[in-house]
Structure 1
Amino acid sequence: MRGGDRHERATSVAQDGGHPHCLAYRPGASIGGLAGRPAPPDVAGGEMRLADALEGVAIRETACFDPDLKVDSVTIDSRQAHPGAVFVAVPGFKQDGARFIPAAIAAGSRVIVTAALPADPAPGITYLAVDDVRAAIAPISRNVYGRADERMRMLGVTGTNGKTTVAYFTAEILRAHQRRVGIMGTIGFDIDGEIIETPNTTPEAPLLHSLLRDAANAGVDDVIMEVSSHSLELHRADGIPFAVTMFTNLTEDHLELHGDMERYYAAKRKLFELAPESVAVIDIDGPWGRRLADEREATGSPVLRTSAADPLAGLRAENVRMSILCTEFELVYQDARRPVRLHWLGDYNVRNALTAAGAALSLGYSLDETVAGLEAAKPVTGRLEPIANDDDLAIIIDYAHTTDALAACLRAVRALSDRPITLVHGVLGDRVHALRHEMGVIAAHGADHVIFTEDDLKADTLEGVLADVAPALDAGPATWELIENRWDAIGAGVERARRGDILVIAGKGHERQLILGDGAGVIYLNEHDAVAEALAGRDPRALDPRG
């Protein structure tokens, strides 16, 4: 139950090698080296009539409508417009896409979707006015890119934390049955270890459906999508025929987007409203999960409740045992019991495994097949990941950057050993001030020594973030120090690990970027490399692109 959707408005690093298998993506590119495999005709791409592209879209009024115009793509970025592209003028967070209609037309677009027809339409251009521009993007994109989601089995998972881990657990079970699986989420679009970078956890609908088309062309059988609350609010996943939907948990995060927990919950619930016929696998170990399960059952939709605590849940874990090497428990389903031994650490990963198991069982896999897949799953990079080293130092890198995720991470580490914990972490900028303070409280009570450092500051400054965090650190039992440079902080943490501490480096995990404060840009960061430098006796600061 880790993670969160921190990427929704971040900018990707323009850096080769951010992940050893990352690829820059362009629509139509080959995936997995299978470009030569014949594709079903309705996912192969190519031109289609505008009238067919608009199937299922409520058009309020038109100007110069030509149903026979040929279109081959959809874009919301005028810089990507070209002849054949449908340009959707989206009212954005900071500026209105209608301002860029002239640029899209100049680039060759002949179809414009907008909120209102222009007073003076350009000759030869088809204008389509709709009541909700955002809601129109997904159906147009699905149509133009061949409804590839109908040729693959689609699974969706949402929640504040744990989506990536659940996706990888589920994928391992499916792959054990010779299914070719794609995972779309926080780390990009992963097909058999080949990762295509994407700018958001759940991409905008044009990119999403072009990726799905290319995945179908490449022979992918199943796609597991992490579906963020932000994307659900913006209709990016509308129309996708999910066979299974999954809910992990809901904790305070993204309130700068949603305002309060009630609206945050309502955004997450939209995934299950999109797929009323699918089985919803819901973790009920939190109050929001219990509420969601109750509400969904009241509509008559199928629900499988999972729990590591509730003896009445349909799928549950009992007799959980944890060590520094593995996590063991008994999986109980329909009065049958099976022992499970996970390579993953942490009690929350028991709940993540239950959610994935619920998805597999809902798809018809047996309990034994499900357990075999769970036991084969290897930890995801940066998710409570022990860093192997010749000195046998206890060093863990974790993506924890929300209050609940950091608390769960530190609880899990504390349960594994009685050795002191040194925590290297920072707090995201552009977040609610109360949450920053709470992060300090969790750090000061969960660790024995805190090295506070920079994280993605965005428009904030380290001094501004520290003003909220320092009082909490001062009031807690842990000692703490400020080391502004993250590479220096990691080096200091490794030195404490040499003295016997367990070192937890939290907040970045798999990420390969650091967003600087005051809008100063984005730089490359690889914490695994920084740890390796420190372990080798070298100065990790040498890896800081700032010098």
Structure 2
Amino acid sequence: MLFSELLEASGAPVKSRRGEAAVEGVALDSRQCRKGSCMIAAKGETTDGHAFIRQAVAAGASAIICQDDSLTDPDVACAVLDDTRAWAGPIAQAFHGWPSRRLTTIGITGTKGKSTTAYILRSILTHVGRKAAVLGTIEYNTGGRSIPAPNTTPDGVQLASLCAESLNAGCTHLVMEVSSHALDQHRVAGMEFNVGVFTNLSGDHMDYHKNADAYFAAKRKLFEGLSPSSVGVINVDDDRAASLVRAVCGRVITYGIRGQCDLRAQIERIDSSGMRMALCMQGERRVIRTSLLGTHNAYNCLAAAGAAVALGLGFEAVAEALEQDIKVPGRLESVETHAGFRVLVDYAHTDDSLRNVLSLTRELCAKGRIIVVFGCGGDRDRTKRPRMARVAEELADVLVVTSDNPRTESPQSIIDEVVGGFTPQGRRKAIVEIDRRSAIALAVNEAREGDIVLIAGKGHETYQIIGAAREHFDDREVAAQAVAAREGV
């Protein structure tokens, strides 16, 4: 593809252009440039791609898209835009022939439940014979391969490549989580979602967005960007729902448990093997049993069901699909034991998600104790540290505070802020163990018959970030090792 053709196909508003070149790839990172690459120099949160233009050219880049052509070699083809970051996605989509337009795309945003909703929706689509790629916090799965996800939502260049890969793998649908960071940073620019799903909004990422209104405004962009032919699927029980409904210019499907809505659920029973609930929509009612547990998962089922209905699937087929065994990595994932107690691993890493999981755990643990292992991430929202402590104190019996991706912060300082959220009574039932492996072993060894050990914070993650180093660490593996050591296996 010629450079001029790429720019025209993307629709990017070019201020100026010089030179012509053959383009054989698109990159945001100079380290990914090869012979024939088009380097898009964009300003990020901590680095500016303009500082690496020379490295891109040295690596073989044939064209540069930037905001200041004075930094480029006059012999290299170059185009100037006002905002390169906002156009990286459309340019990459144009290079790949706009694969996103040949997929049915579903974007899911919200504080909690995005991953589970995405997995449930993929399960529904698979049940009715559709092949769906899933991109999100747990993995980027294109239908042909799965890679660990470095971010919930990939940047626009990688996203276009993943769309092309999914299409080539035979996928008809793309289900993806859309984070507030991604919306704020234009990572999904160029995506024309057929369905936008809102799960909920609660306190998180205040280190980035600074306040709740800015956080919500970022989430709202997904719905403001939907076309008149697209559908918004919105949790009506959330306080911000009305604002999102107003933002959608096309059809809206509302869901909930408490409020007036199009798609409603009523939980009838929860036990250790699953949940029985009634689904109601437009006069139709169907009682289902799902392997998922808890009120928060009832909402996730509703969100996925609403998206499926928005895609044209019948209510009966959707209800039937929800009864399939659905497993989501690191979401209330059980570790096998033989000593009469249970060990669960969950991704809960905010006060609200911890409350949901601990409340459910209490329902499952009528006679025993709840032993919770938790910590808070470094270089992230500090305001949730004391809030998580208060939730743990309220709902658990033994509190084991430990490290959870401390990054460049002092692990002890983070723990001190968490412990500062306990009341004097809470401190008396708290145990501090800075080493996460030792903390998990301590909790497992503390457990008695009837108890549940909940290891919160990492879920599906397979690493611990200390300083700038990412070391292998999987709560599920470590818990299984602790159980085996206790049982003498």
Give the secondary-structure state (helix, strand or coil) at the position aligned to 1:208: helix
Letter of the 2:226 counterpart:
A
The unaligned stretches of length 5 or more in structure 1 are: 1-47, 541-547
Post-superposition offset of 1:466: 2.0
Letter of the 2:6 counterpart:
A
1:469-502 deviation digits (Å, cap 9, x = unpaired)? 1122244547111111111111111122244321
Distance 1:50 1:308, change over 3 A: same
Out of 220, 223, 232, which is 1:272 matched to?
223
Question: Are residue 417 (structure 1) and residue 365 (structure 2) matched?
Answer: yes
- Within a 5 Å distance, the mapping from 1:49-68 to structure 2 comes to 49-54=2-7, 55=9, 56-62=11-17, 64-66=18-20
Question: Are residue 433 (structure 1) and residue 382 (structure 2) matched?
Answer: yes
Letter of the 1:485 counterpart:
D
Work out the CA distance in 2 between the residues paired with 1:464 and 1:375.
Answer: 45
Partner of 1:322: 270
Out of 124, 130, 139, which is 2:90 matched to?
139
**TM-score after normalising by structure 1:** 0.85
* Mean Cα deviation higher: 92-101 or 453-462: 92-101
1:496, 1:503 within 8 Å by CA — same for their partners in 2? no
Taking only aligned residues, the RMSD between alpha carbons, in angstroms, comes to: 1.8
Question: Are residue 95 (structure 1) and residue 47 (structure 2) matched?
Answer: yes
Question: Are residue 196 (structure 1) and residue 151 (structure 2) matched?
Answer: no
Partner of 2:137: 186
Letter of the 2:482 counterpart:
A
- Within a 5 Å distance, the mapping from 1:240-279 to structure 2 comes to 240-277=191-228, 278-279=230-231
1:454, 1:486 within 8 Å by CA — same for their partners in 2? yes
- Within a 5 Å distance, the mapping from 1:146-185 to structure 2 comes to 146-185=97-136
How many residue pairs end up in the alignment?
483
2:143, 2:169 within 8 Å by CA — same for their partners in 1? no
* Mean Cα deviation higher: 91-100 or 470-479: 470-479
Percent identical residues: 35
* Mean Cα deviation higher: 264-273 or 92-101: 92-101
Distance 1:393 1:473, change over 3 A: same
Question: Are residue 364 (structure 1) and residue 304 (structure 2) matched?
Answer: no
Post-superposition offset of 1:373: 1.2
Letter of the 1:232 counterpart:
L
Post-superposition offset of 1:309: 1.2
- Within a 5 Å distance, the mapping from 1:100-139 to structure 2 comes to 100-118=52-70, 121-139=72-90
Letter of the 2:189 counterpart:
D
Give the secondary-structure state (helix, strand or coil) at the position aligned to 2:141: strand
- Within a 5 Å distance, the mapping from 1:305-384 to structure 2 comes to 305-310=254-259, 312-384=260-332
Post-superposition offset of 1:180: 1.2
The one of the two structures with greater contact order (alpha-carbon pairs below 8 A, sep at least 6) is 1
Give the secondary-structure state (helix, strand or coil) at the position aligned to 2:431: strand
1:402-429 deviation digits (Å, cap 9, x = unpaired)? 1111111111111222221100111111
Letter of the 1:239 counterpart:
G
Post-superposition offset of 1:81: 1.1
Letter of the 2:386 counterpart:
H
Out of 474, 479, 487, which is 1:526 matched to?
474
Work out the CA distance in 2 between the residues paired with 1:193 and 1:426.
Answer: 35
Work out the CA distance in 2 between the residues paired with 1:118 and 1:491.
Answer: 58
Work out the CA distance in 2 between the residues paired with 1:98 and 1:216.
Answer: 32
1:101-157 deviation digits (Å, cap 9, x = unpaired)? 1111111112111111217x5242112111111112011100011211122111110
Give the secondary-structure state (helix, strand or coil) at the position aligned to 1:378: coil
1:48-105 deviation digits (Å, cap 9, x = unpaired)? 122221131011122x332xx2212111111111222110111122232111111111
Post-superposition offset of 1:358: 0.4
1:250, 1:289 within 8 Å by CA — same for their partners in 2? no
1:248, 1:289 within 8 Å by CA — same for their partners in 2? no
Work out the CA distance in 1 between the residues paired with 2:445 and 2:359.
Answer: 23
Partner of 2:433: 483
Post-superposition offset of 1:334: 0.1
Out of 496, 500, 505, which is 2:446 matched to?
496
Give the secondary-structure state (helix, strand or coil) at the position aligned to 2:130: coil
Out of 215, 218, 221, which is 2:169 matched to?
218
Work out the CA distance in 1 between the residues paired with 2:487 and 2:241.
Answer: 46
**TM-score after normalising by structure 2:** 0.95
Question: Are residue 74 (structure 1) and residue 26 (structure 2) matched?
Answer: yes
1:160, 1:251 within 8 Å by CA — same for their partners in 2? yes
Work out the CA distance in 2 between the residues paired with 1:346 and 1:319.
Answer: 9
1:533, 1:539 within 8 Å by CA — same for their partners in 2? no
Distance 1:252 1:535, change over 3 A: same
Question: Are residue 466 (structure 1) and residue 419 (structure 2) matched?
Answer: no
Give the secondary-structure state (helix, strand or coil) at the position aligned to 1:118: helix
Partner of 2:397: 448
Distance 1:276 1:343, change over 3 A: same
Question: Are residue 457 (structure 1) and residue 406 (structure 2) matched?
Answer: yes
Work out the CA distance in 2 between the residues paired with 1:394 and 1:216.
Answer: 42
Distance 1:480 1:193, change over 3 A: farther
Give the secondary-structure state (helix, strand or coil) at the position aligned to 1:141: helix
Work out the CA distance in 2 between the residues paired with 1:57 and 1:236.
Answer: 15
1:248, 1:283 within 8 Å by CA — same for their partners in 2? yes
Work out the CA distance in 1 between the residues paired with 2:103 and 2:90.
Answer: 17
Question: Are residue 388 (structure 1) and residue 336 (structure 2) matched?
Answer: yes
